[in-house]
Structure 1
Amino acid sequence: MRSFHYERAATPEAAVRNFDTADARFIAGGTNLLDLMKLQVETPGKLVDISRLDFAGVEDAEDGGLLIGALVPNSDLAADPRVVARYEVLARALLAGASGQLRNKATTGGNLLQRTRCYYFYDLHSPCNKREPGSGCSAIGGENRILAVLGTSENCIATHPSDMAVAMRALDATVVTLKRDGDRRRIALADFYRLPGDTPQIETVLESGELITHVALPPVREGSRQAYRKVRDRASYAFALVSVAGVVRMEDGSIAEARLAFGGLGPMPWRDVAVEQALVGQPPSPALFERAADILLADAQGQGTNDFKIPLARRTLAATLRDLTEAR
């Protein structure tokens, strides 16, 4: 690990003000950043510690939703009675991610910003456009079993590793931030992440020094069913090969509303509105679920050892939809 300058922020305004160099980074739980620093994948010259800021609470919002502080630990969020009762898909996704020890330290804001687990991103001896722009993508034609089949480019096929972000994408979450000029903004999670394109090193729309302060969840309509299904290589402490977060509301035997987000398939929590539109107004059936999978995977492209993700995603989507739509 290289040496760095450290400052502890006493206020949010001080935090963004202290982010005054291009190589500065915010640090809270540090569950991902510290690993990257030890490997010298990340070499910040300055760390701004935000862990003492007053963003560790969960509040009821006026619209009936929740306002979640960026520093709420994943374990606390998963156990919050309001999350368990009203946002079951989020609680399940959080508990499916990492170990208990890591969930105790990992924060809501940090979870959204964690970096890919692509092997080549972590290997300083391998070309990686995300780590060193213009160097190439070793995963294309290399070991890519865990990597993306949707939303990729010729420059990067990395996946986003978060379980929490997949559930929040299905819940239409909004990210609340504080910018260096003091302005605050609200960014729909749908607009928060960027596709790799020609600039895979730029992963979000956050500006330099922009601080996540909260995540807002709108209320879920009464009668909605929620599920999180994660397929992985082992039962604990493994990232998703494919995951599905679903929120479905049934009415008179047909699907009245459907929100579906996917993990393990793309460079961001993946959601395709066309898939949901194909389901709405239809009675559930295996043929309908197949049609939804056809739409989801129409542009999917495997790279060899990750080809299996395409049929796996098809089966996982169908199983999740069966769980969400079967008569109760």
Structure 2
Amino acid sequence: MRPFSYARARTLNDAAQTVADDGTMAIAGGTNLLDLMKLQVETPSQLADINRIGFAEIEDTDDGGLSIGALATNTETAVHPRVRADYPVLSRAILAGATQQLRNKATNGGNLCQRTRCYYFMNIDQPCNKREPGSGCGAIDGIAKLHAVLGTSDQCIATYPGDMAVALSALDAQVQIATSDGDSRTVPVRDFHCLPGDTPWRENVLEAGEIITAITLPAPVGGTQLYRKVRERSSYAFALVSVAAIVEIEDGRFSRADLAFGGVAHKPWHDPRIAEALIGKAPSPELFDKAADILLEDAQGFGENDFKIPLARRTLHAVLEQATEAAA
């Protein structure tokens, strides 16, 4: 780890102005950032501790939804009575994401901003366009078992590693962001993360000096909420494929089908065409195949991760079958 200075922000304005400086990074739980600093993947000249600026509350919103503070911990969020009762897919995703010790420390804002666990990104001796633009993507012709099959580019095939954001995408949550000039803006979670394209180092839409303050969930939608995570071992591991689903069936036909996928792309993957194909139709293996065809229409494997394509198909089938049985 390289030397760095440390500052403690007391207010949101103080934090925003501090992190707007080149070389300064915000730190809250630090469960991802400190690991990257030890590996010298991240080398900030200064850390700005934002733990004392507030935004740790979980509160009802006027429209019946829920506002989850960016500095609330993953544990506080997963066990909150309203999250467990009205947004169980979010609770299940968080609980599947990390150990109790990490969840106790990790914050919701930091979870959204966590960086990929690509082997080449994490090793400064290997080529990585995300870490060192123009150096190449070692994973394309190398170790790619955990890597993306959707939304890739010739610059990067890394995956977004988180679970929480996959559930938030299915829920169509919104990210509340404070800007360095004292203003604020709202970004749908589905638009918060970026695909690699020609700028793989840009992982989300945050600009210099911007800080996430909260995540807002819409009013509860009911139906069956599921989170299925396929991983190499039953203990905590990153998803090979995951599916967050909010499904409702009325009169034997899908009336709601909000699905998001993890482990397959540079961001939580949401394709509205899947819901369009399902809604109004009676559940059947043929319909589930059609949904999978839409999901995987442009899927591309890179050797070691070719298995993810049929795995995603089977996982989507299993989730839709389970949702159908739960609604029966």
What is aligned with 2:147?
A: 147
State the AA in 2 paired with 1:12: L
Partners of 1:164 and 1:83 in 2: CA distance: 12
1:272 correspondence with 2:271: yes
1:83 correspondence with 2:83: yes
1:63 correspondence with 2:70: no
State the AA in 2 paired with 1:178: A
What is aligned with 2:133?
A: 133
Deviations 1:139-165 (A, max 9, x none): 001000000000000000000000000
Q: Is the 8 Å Cα contact of residues 20 and 180 (structure 2) preserved in structure 1?
A: no
Partners of 1:54 and 1:319 in 2: CA distance: 41
Following TM superposition, by how much is the alpha carbon of 1:196 offset from its aligned partner in structure 2, in angstroms? 0.3
- 1:191-210 pair list within 5 angstroms: 191-210=191-210
Following TM superposition, by how much is the alpha carbon of 1:278 offset from its aligned partner in structure 2, in angstroms? 0.3
What is aligned with 1:107?
A: 107
What is aligned with 1:159?
A: 159
Q: Is the 8 Å Cα contact of residues 20 and 210 (structure 2) preserved in structure 1?
A: no
Partners of 1:287 and 1:118 in 2: CA distance: 35
- 1:222-237 pair list within 5 angstroms: 222=222, 224-237=223-236
Partners of 1:122 and 1:159 in 2: CA distance: 13
What is aligned with 2:301?
A: 302
State the AA in 2 paired with 1:214: A
State the AA in 2 paired with 1:82: R
1:261 correspondence with 2:273: no
Query: Any stretches of 5+ residues in structure 1 without a counterpart?
Result: none
What is aligned with 2:320?
A: 321
Partners of 2:187 and 2:69 in 1: CA distance: 15
What is aligned with 2:18?
A: 18
Q: Percent identity?
A: 61
What is aligned with 1:292?
A: 291
State the AA in 2 paired with 1:264: G
Partners of 2:130 and 2:45 in 1: CA distance: 19
Partners of 2:273 and 2:322 in 1: CA distance: 21
Deviations 1:291-314 (A, max 9, x none): 000000010000000000000000
What is aligned with 2:36?
A: 36
Q: Is the 8 Å Cα contact of residues 116 and 161 (structure 2) preserved in structure 1?
A: yes
Indicate the larger mover: 186-195 or 281-290.
186-195
TM-score by length of 2: 0.98
What is aligned with 2:243?
A: 244
Partners of 1:119 and 1:90 in 2: CA distance: 28
Following TM superposition, by how much is the alpha carbon of 1:5 offset from its aligned partner in structure 2, in angstroms? 1.7
Indicate the larger mover: 151-160 or 46-55.
46-55
Partners of 1:272 and 1:19 in 2: CA distance: 34
SS for the counterpart of 1:244 is strand
State the AA in 1 paired with 2:35: D
* Runs of 4+ more than 6 Å apart: none
State the AA in 2 paired with 1:18: T
SS for the counterpart of 1:96 is helix
Following TM superposition, by how much is the alpha carbon of 1:172 offset from its aligned partner in structure 2, in angstroms? 0.4
Partners of 2:252 and 2:18 in 1: CA distance: 56
SS for the counterpart of 2:97 is coil
Following TM superposition, by how much is the alpha carbon of 1:325 offset from its aligned partner in structure 2, in angstroms? 1.6
Following TM superposition, by how much is the alpha carbon of 1:215 offset from its aligned partner in structure 2, in angstroms? 0.3
Following TM superposition, by how much is the alpha carbon of 1:206 offset from its aligned partner in structure 2, in angstroms? 0.8
Deviations 1:187-231 (A, max 9, x none): 111211111001100111111010000000001323x11000000
Following TM superposition, by how much is the alpha carbon of 1:20 offset from its aligned partner in structure 2, in angstroms? 3.9
TM-score by length of 1: 0.98
State the AA in 2 paired with 1:8: R
Partners of 1:15 and 1:75 in 2: CA distance: 24
State the AA in 1 paired with 2:316: L
Q: Is the 8 Å Cα contact of residues 262 and 269 (structure 2) preserved in structure 1?
A: yes
Partners of 1:101 and 1:133 in 2: CA distance: 34
Partners of 1:85 and 1:97 in 2: CA distance: 19
State the AA in 2 paired with 1:85: A
1:220 correspondence with 2:255: no
Partners of 2:198 and 2:160 in 1: CA distance: 17
SS for the counterpart of 1:141 is coil
